[in-house]
Amino acid sequence: MRRSLFVLLLIFIVANLLCSELSFSGLNEFKYIYSNRIIEHRNYFSDKFQLQTQFNSFRTGIKYDLYYPKYGKFIMINNAMSNQTIENELNKEEDEYYFDEYYLQYESDFWFAQVGTFEAVIGSGIVLHNFYDDDFETDSRLIGGYVNPVYDRWQMQLFAGLMESDDSTNPDLEDKYDQIGAFDVDVNISDKITVGGSYVLHKENEVINQSGINVIEFNNRTIYAGKFNYSSSLFDFQTEYATSNDDKNLKGTAIYSNIISYLGKFTLMGAYKNYENFNVRISDLPMVNHRGQQLEHSWDAGKDEEGLMGEIRFLPNYENEFVINYAEGWNNNFKVRLSNFYSEFKHDFEEWSFKAEFETLEQLNKENANRWYKEITPTLTFDFLIKDNPVLIKAEYQYKKEDKVIGNQSHFEPRFQTDIAISNYSLSIAVENQIGDSESAEDGDDGEFWIGGELATTIFNNTDVRLFYGKEKGGVVCRNGVCKNQAEFDGLRLTITTTF
């Protein structure tokens, strides 16, 4: 009801401004998927339409999404499952259609205000980062009001709104909304020093069992935070500290700091994290390692972890670049640990370039999983021209090993990719193979190949067309400590994006 009233209000405003000088812009993305879902081949259609109008300092917009049905890229199915089990999983793919965004904005030299759907971030995100993550299909955007005055030496954020409750673990929270209010201010004390402070109140819906009956109640969580930034010609330093408490008297703390120093041809970077009981939805925690991974896949990011990362970047001249990055992470009793090493060498010739990368990732969990995991990934990349047409060739040979209670397994995943662009056409072809067995849901069978190609072009100057056909290997997708197993794709995918 609330969304329908807001949409009607937007339509009314637009109708009354039609006689005025308006500018319109928008985007439409149509996608068709034909996918092999083991027991059947399925068709999927989706369309996302965005429209934005502007009149002087005002801007209004809507976005409408339609899925028929919505493709479940995180639905893990395989040939070992029964047909009934696969069908039950695929039944989760339903038709969906809804207004995804609707907003009204006002912007001037010193003020920005918005009502409707909006994203918000405080500092680096450890305190709060509300946004839509397309890779993970998670939505923490707010529906409410946002004010952001900016003056000579200070700026402020003041906002409040509703956020969809997390119903992924409990269906009772479907169509329920958390409540969030926040205040954030930054003050430039001098040209080099900025300090800031924040307050956030998060009223989170939780399901509590009372005498056999599920009752939904708010758990009130308050966050106080401060930040300090120093910038000079020699180095830039940033640090943030946050503390939280809730109705259960669960106290949390978060510390994140980084420093970047410029010493001639060297750039030095260091980062530190310390999180305790900060594994909540509204926080977007930097993981302080090159891969952006949490300590271990079964360990909640922000629950209990500490870590350091350092990087040396050396540019002796315009042709060469060297990078070395190393990170360590651990929990308070050192039973959950991570190490991540990354190195890179790049050389630019007159008409082509060469890049060599080497990365290792090692994770250990003796706290609640008894698991050890290691990846070793060497990569070579070549960029060059063939008759003024850019070409990329990338070769990767990844090694994975895992030790668990039930035993250990290891396998290789060689991958070859080539991209070429001719005029306004581009073609990308990738071939991946698995050598060895694996019990991980995202992996395949020994000797299995994944071959796929994508053709992209632009037509009518405002329409991008992308066509993929083949197989893409599944895998673990991670972002700032959140990881999901993405299923393999086998079929055809057509995307047509038009802007106006």
Residue-wise pLDDT tens digits, 373-413: 999 999 999 999 999 999 999 999 999 999 986 778 999 99
What is the model's pLDDT at position 9? Answer: 62
**CA 336: distance to chain centroid?**
24
Q: Reply yes or no on whether the pLDDT at 6 is more than 90.
A: no
**CA 330: distance to chain centroid?**
23
Amino acid 247 reads: D
DSSP-derived letter for residue 435 is B
Of 55, 63, 50, 52, residue with least CA distance to 17: 55
pLDDT tens digits, one per residue of 309-332: 999 999 999 999 999 999 999 999
Amino acid 439 reads: E
Of 328, 355, 354, residue with least CA distance to 341: 328
129 within 8 A of 284, measured Cβ to Cβ: yes
pLDDT tens digits, one per residue of 339-373: 999 999 999 999 999 999 999 999 999 998 889 99
Of the segments 148-152, 269-273, 350-354, which one has the largest average pLDDT value?
Answer: 269-273
Classify the C-alpha dihedral 472-293-251-369 as positive or negative. Answer: positive
Classify the C-alpha dihedral 130-131-135-139 as positive or negative. Answer: positive
pLDDT tens digits, one per residue of 54-96: 999 999 999 999 999 999 998 988 888 899 999 999 999 999 9
What is the model's pLDDT at position 14? Answer: 58
What is the model's pLDDT at position 4? Answer: 62
Kindly report the number of other CB atoms within 10 A of residue 269's CB atom.
16
Length of the chain: 500
What is the model's pLDDT at position 13? Answer: 61
What is the model's pLDDT at position 442? Answer: 74
At a CB cut-off of 8 Å and minimum separation 6, what does 91 contact?
none
Query: Which 3-state string (H, E, C) describes 187-215?
Result: EECCCCEEEEEEEEEEEEEEEEEECCEEE
Q: Average pLDDT of the chain?
A: 92
Q: Reply yes or no on whether the pLDDT at 3 is more than 90.
A: no
Tokens describing residue 294:
């949490």
Domain boundaries, the chain: 1-94
